[in-house]
Structure 1
């Protein structure tokens, strides 16, 4: 078998050199800069970091302390006042210029996502494209969406996860800017900071009032969440940090939308269309299930388990994983992989430990993938890679019984009654999505309202969605305003005459369940 090699022109040194040429104001030879107080500045202490692809050292996020974070937010508040007075046509022109500038850097942004967070090339390109296409839609709709509305009284603070820097974070920021708000954004500590640095360099060149800084959440959180003068908080992350953010906001009556993890499940009951399910299962492994709408838990009617198992194991055997930039011949295109590494070696080791702990507690090791089946460079580190694995009936005491693994580690529960199906599917105390595979649509209609998930798919998966579709979560998976399409604009603007309004969302004081 021919040894694989790195695709020419894609090495980290070549990629970083391209960043230096594309945005010399934001990248130094040995470090990233922070966009604070209106300029790119060499403030903060760069940390050590390695790429999950093969352990190559790369510049880490330059973490600032509280005093710099406070100064950055204070400057953003000043910029917000001027930006909100800009005519709509001027705001649209600058955002459109940023979108076109980002489109010019599309391939470099995608390559940074490959190196920083391990996305296969196709998925990295899709992340960038979805961000740009989404903002183009808002540019067409924003006059209607903002009719009679006004900006928030202060900037929107963004604290986002590492897994979708473009299609979640940058996309949201550009919509917030269209609505007349300045933006403050924190880079995720685990990855995505190079991509975000390049994106914000383009945005700043277009004349947009954006701030981008790095820092340890526990040290600068008060500046990004509680600072007087901020207008809203947009958060994407785990429940522990989301809970801290919600607690910090409790006495401020400040707008917020906090997207938190949820254990999304797929129930299988009175079902027979296994080829269709197989296609959905295969797609579900994209990016190693490192996304908020992945399905890591399957709840299966016991009598259907043989057919489900045959389908499921066939999917796992056909998964393609490995180094996203490894090719057999320099002329070959980048490989079509389902997934590369997980976000870092520590996460891979953690998931291996969870698997072993479940087996020790008498779960059945249903499938154990082999890293030898992956496509890797000779001698490269594979510490951050995890072959797909699955457990049957893990114990209720298992650490992942009520939380998402965020990796290619599935669990399967067998049930005999509808009540057991509901209980098993709702074990995570709220989620973003859930699905039912069933031939009995009357059964689906009857049981779907009792599932603690914001979106329910019948014989299909559900996704985050945007544009014309609402997105949110039920239970502990979400706090605050629901977003997507018009609702995202409403969440970052005030109603007619600057009036405060009751937003559609998942708030402590009342519960609004979304339409199915």
Structure 2
């Protein structure tokens, strides 16, 4: 018997639930509005959106043009002064009201994220739950972090599609809690439906939030450069990040630019293969579509046979398939490592990078296969890719200096510690890195030579939650660091004697502990 889509995650059911929960986000013909000037309006130029799960049409992005986005920015800035003058207790009350209204919709948001960006239910749930509980921590602790600091004004947010809740929504609600008005651009590649739900609830709670959709090139001048924007929070690729950094160079504007780097894991004098196996499987969460995914393994040459055996056994155990399918109604949703990548275009780019690696001399040592039983017969699989891995990636390969943002690993073999450090620093800065070694003192000492914001010893590092700070070194990050009290400081102004920690053109101001 072929599998079926679980009735509780049928998109038609989720859409009906969404219309009941937040009818204001819809046009009369079932399209979507933008949120600007305090209300849902402006359907823009609808752009069809297809789910990565099966290619089905699940709605259209309400794409705005420059002048409409400029209206949104100016109106959002117009809310800043009154909100900044609202006392902290009232701001806390309204953000708490927003969280209380969001909690009954966590399940719906989790399921929408499956269709929008291909997450499994578990990963979708984790995304919205981390957002809600993370902001709750800030509500409970904001007084000690805020002190006498003042809001900046209007904060503009441009974020990638992979974590619309735990990154974008979380940041927006903390920025508002700190006394700023906020505008956010919905990611074009996915997340606009679930974000519309959550922003509708935030607006109902009386929070000064604005949500717009539109082409990046058309809206960037407004959301980045306009004088009404006092602070920019960006999460995305290095190409766009560098362009934004250049645009901000001549402006006196606070910014936080999170970009990718090649996050590496070094293996030296190591024998803890069972532990590594667990880390390898964990590392494939969401198909490595994470800015903190470890995609480059720098391995002491004599250890490669054990690494190869461990890798093959661990990764061959992963299940990749359609995350909505069950054998019969009432069954639990499947326990998959991951589903599709974000879209067929990204899948094709992964194929291109892999082929280029082979063409330039890399050797494939793992090529996974998709299991037909984890899909509907005849369904669109254009966005699905199984794990693949290469060893001996040469420097002329594009993948050597680039994060694939998908399920491709590469391995570089080294004979000396100096080689290991050099290969681990290949991308001129990273968000996270790790060293695996039986000699933890050596690993801790060597870790100080690695250009990453967070260094793990025999463990993976991640963005973190609540009080944990986050940032990057080199080209992986520009501007103020975030996380914990640093996120509050990033979107507020203190006295001249209170510098905002971050990675700046003329200095890197680091926290004591990352």
Aligning the two structures, in what range does the TM-score lie when normalised by the shorter sequence?
Answer: over 0.9
Task: Identify the residue that residue 396 of structure 1 maps to in structure 2.
Answer: 395
Q: 1:227 matched to which residue of 2?
A: 226
Residue equivalent to 1:21: 20
Q: Match of 1:108?
A: 108
Corresponding residue of 1:30: 30
CA shift in 2, pair 1:265/1:204, >3 Å: same
In structure 1, the partner of 2:277 is 278
Is the CA contact 1:321–1:374 (under 8 Å) kept in the aligned structure 2?
no
Q: CA deviation at 1:429?
A: 1.3
The corresponding residue for 1:257 is 256
Q: Supply the distance in 1 between the matched residues of 2:490 and 2:371 (Cα, whole angstroms).
A: 48
Q: Which of 212-221 and 24-33 deviates more?
A: 24-33
Write out per-residue CA displacement over residues 444-469 of structure 1, whole angstroms, 9 at most, x where no aligned residue: 13311111111000000001013222
Q: Distance in 2 between matches of 1:321 and 1:382?
A: 11
- Is the 2:91–2:179 contact (alpha carbons within 8 Å) kept by the matching residues of 1? yes
Would you say the 8 A contact 2:357–2:399 is kept in 1? no
How far 1:374 sits from its partner (Å)?
Answer: 6.3
2:315 aligned with 1:296: no
SS of residue in 2 equivalent to 1:119: coil
Cα separation, 2, equivalents of 1:16 and 1:241: 33
SS of 1:371's partner is: coil
Alignment root-mean-square deviation, CA: 1.3
- Inter-partner Cα distance in structure 2 for 1:109 and 1:335: 18
Secondary structure in 2 aligned to 1:400? helix
Aligned-partner Cα distance in 2 for 1:139–1:155:
20
> Which residue does 1:75 correspond to in 2?
75
Tell me, which stretches of 5 or more residues in structure 2 are unaligned? none
1:505 maps to 2:486? no
In structure 2, how many angstroms separate the alpha carbons of the residues matched to 1:125 and 1:43? 29
Q: Which moved more, 1:2-11 or 1:82-91?
A: 2-11
**In 2, Cα distance between the equivalents of 1:513 and 1:229?**
29
- Say if 1:238 and 1:285 are closer, same or farther in 2 by CA, change over 3 A: same
In the alignment, the residues of structure 2 paired with residue 500 and residue 128 of structure 1 have an alpha-carbon distance, to the nearest angstrom, of: 37
Return the alpha-carbon distance in structure 2 between the equivalents of residues 27 and 394 of structure 1: 49
Q: How many positions carry a matched residue from both structures?
A: 512
Q: Which residue of 2 aligns with 1:246?
A: 245
Shift of 1:10: 1.6
What's the CA shift for 1:239?
Answer: 0.4
CA contact (8 A) 2:321 2:371 kept: no
Q: Which residue of 2 is the match for residue 96 of structure 1? A: 96
Q: 1:60 Cα deviation (Å)?
A: 2.5
Counterparts of 1:155 and 1:419, CA distance in 2: 46
Please tell me whether the aligned partners of residues 32 and 43 of structure 2 are also in contact (alpha carbons under 8 angstroms): no
Partner SS for 2:459: coil
* Conservation of the 8 A alpha-carbon contact between 1:340 and 1:385: yes
> What runs of 5+ residues in structure 1 fail to find an aligned partner?
none
Does the aligned pair in 2 maintain the 1:66–1:219 contact within 8 Å?
Answer: yes
SS, match of residue 113 in structure 1:
helix
Shift of 1:511: 2.0
Distance 1:437 1:27 in 2: 51
Secondary structure at the residue paired with 2:489? helix
Is 2:488 the counterpart of 1:486? no
Aligned partners of 2:244, 2:32: CA distance in 1, in Å? Answer: 27
5 Å-filtered alignment, 1:106-505, equals 106-152=106-152, 154-372=153-371, 375-496=374-495, 501-505=498-502
CA distance in 1, matches of 2:260, 2:88: 35
Distance 1:144 1:512, change over 3 A: closer
Question: In the TM superposition, what is the alpha-carbon distance from 1:105 to its structure 2 partner?
Answer: 0.8
Q: Distance in 2 between matches of 1:150 and 1:503?
A: 13
State how far apart, in whole Å, the 2-side matches of 1:176 and 1:344 are.
31
Helix, strand or coil at the partner of 2:23 = coil
Aligned partner of residue 25 in structure 1, secondary structure: helix
1:305-360 CA-to-partner distances (Å, cap 9, x unmatched) read 11111111111110011001100111101111110000001111111122122112
| 1:238-267 deviation line (CA, Å, top 9, x unaligned) | 001111111111111110000001110000
Q: Distance in 2 between matches of 1:27 and 1:9?
A: 22
Distance 1:216 1:316 in 2: 37
Distance 1:53 1:27 in 2: 23
Q: Secondary structure at the match of 2:79?
A: helix
- Residue pair 1:320, 1:374 contacting (<8 A) in 2 also: no
